[in-house]
């Protein structure tokens, strides 16, 4: 091999090494971007605190996307604050609602809200408005509790909420799956497929599970409902979530689950932000519609702000925000 050929091959080697380094860097960056996209918080304006601190978010370790605002501020200034306990499946709507509410009610300076399953919020209330997240214990007294309208009948009965409840929007169920529906899911009866891995809400604390069970029975009788919530759970092909509005899309994007049932608005939100999620419609004859409600909590620190929020939920401004994500007027 002459000197010219040696130089040529050395040059090719350098080029190939450069291309390899660039490709690995892009691959690692793509992986990191993928991780950031999969894991919440998905709402970039979800913190209503007036003064935010150093941004630290170890996505897969220290990440609490369902606790919004400055808990110290609302505790120190209860008469100019609003604290909301919110059933989590409207988490993506609340930032816009809060922003619009604060424009109309400037007397409210601080907002703190929690968006976790309604059953967990009730347990939090029963534990003195206190919840422990890993090694962090948090105490915050709510002004308003928001959940399914039927759940509010129960909270009134046990003394968690008081006064008349307000109802403001409705929502329907939809199947959530991978983008493009690679498993060819046609409806709820597809859940009889023993190879289909499902992510489903735990009936113990997730209100949506009641509506899902009703729809499963409508679509395939008790056999389908048992195939999912009994035999499917026992066999391990059905994973029961603690927080379906976070876990189901995450598990689908991680390919740990193939599908699950969520609210239509949740599927639409994931599509809106560009996550690789697809919805499969459930026909009206098999669907179950939820009615959303809210009420003031007993011992609300700011009863004025609580009433203002409840009134705001009934306005056209509020409804327009909900409609953006697929909710409907009652």
- Residues 153, 238: one domain? no
In a domain, residue 30? The reply is no
Q: How far is CA 75 from the centre of its chain?
A: 25
77-86: average pLDDT: 98
Q: Output phi, psi for 327, to 5 deg.
A: -75, 160
Question: How does the average pLDDT of the chain come out, rounded?
Answer: 90
- Residues 89, 155: one domain? yes
78-88: average pLDDT: 98
Kindly report, residue by residue over 177-228, the tens digit of the pLDDT.
999 999 999 999 999 999 999 999 999 989 899 999 999 999 999 999 999 9
Distance CA 157, CA 292 (A): 18
Query: Would the CA dihedral through 57, 61, 65, 68 be positive or negative?
Result: negative
What does 55-80 look like in DSSP terms, one character per residue? Answer: ---BTTTB--TTEES-HHHHHH-GGG
In a domain, residue 29? The reply is no
In a domain, residue 101? The reply is yes
Kindly report, residue by residue over 20-66, the tens digit of the pLDDT.
433 433 334 333 445 556 888 777 777 888 888 887 777 666 778 99
What CATH number corresponds to the domain at position 205? 3.40.190.10
- Residues 276, 188: one domain? yes
- Residues 129, 153: one domain? yes
In a domain, residue 26? The reply is no
Q: Using an 8 Å Cβ cutoff, are 89 and 175 in contact?
A: no
Distance CA 248, CA 200 (A): 7
Q: Has residue 298 got a pLDDT over 80?
A: yes
- Residues 258, 193: one domain? yes
pTM of the model: 0.86
- Residues 303, 213: one domain? no
Residue span of the structural domain in which 231 resides: 173-281
- Residues 112, 181: one domain? no
Kindly report, residue by residue over 126-151, the tens digit of the pLDDT.
999 999 999 999 999 999 999 999 99
- Residues 227, 214: one domain? yes
Number of domains present in the structure of the chain: 2
């Amino acid at each position: 091999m002459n000197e010219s050929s040696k130089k040529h091959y050395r040059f090719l080697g350098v080029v190939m090494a450069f291309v390899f380094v660039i490709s690995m860097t892009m691959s690692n960056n793509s992986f990191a971007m993928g991780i950031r996209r999969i894991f919440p918080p998905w709402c970039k304006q979800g913190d209503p605190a007036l003064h935010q601190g150093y941004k630290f978010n170890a996505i897969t370790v220290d990440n609490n996307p369902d606790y919004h605002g400055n808990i110290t501020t609302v505790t120190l200034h209860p008469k100019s604050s609003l604290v909301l306990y919110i059933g989590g499946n409207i988490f993506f709507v609340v930032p816009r609602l809060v922003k619009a509410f604060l424009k109309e009610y400037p007397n409210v300076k601080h907002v703190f809200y929690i968006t976790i399953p309604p059953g967990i919020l009730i347990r939090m209330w029963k534990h003195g408005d206190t919840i422990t997240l890993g090694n962090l214990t948090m105490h915050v007294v709510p002004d308003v509790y928001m959940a399914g309208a039927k759940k509010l009948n129960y909270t009134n009965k046990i003394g968690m909420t008081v006064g008349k409840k307000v109802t403001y929007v409705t929502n329907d169920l939809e199947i959530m799956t991978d983008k493009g529906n690679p498993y060819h899911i046609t409806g709820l009866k597809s859940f009889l497929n023993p190879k289909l891995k499902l992510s489903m809400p735990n009936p113990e604390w997730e209100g949506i599970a009641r509506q899902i069970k009703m729809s499963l029975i409508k679509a395939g009788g008790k056999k389908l409902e048992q195939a999912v919530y009994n035999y499917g759970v026992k066999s391990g092909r059905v994973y029961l979530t603690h927080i379906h509005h976070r876990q189901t899309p995450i598990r689908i994007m991680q390919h740990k689950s193939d599908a699950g049932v969520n609210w239509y608005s949740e599927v639409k939100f994931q599509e809106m932000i560009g996550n690789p999620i697809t919805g499969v419609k459930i026909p009206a004859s098999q669907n179950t519609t939820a009615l959303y409600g809210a009420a003031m909590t007993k011992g609300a620190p700011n009863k004025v702000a609580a009433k203002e929020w409840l009134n705001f939920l009934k306005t056209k401004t509020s409804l327009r925000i909900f409609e953006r994500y697929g909710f409907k007027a009652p």
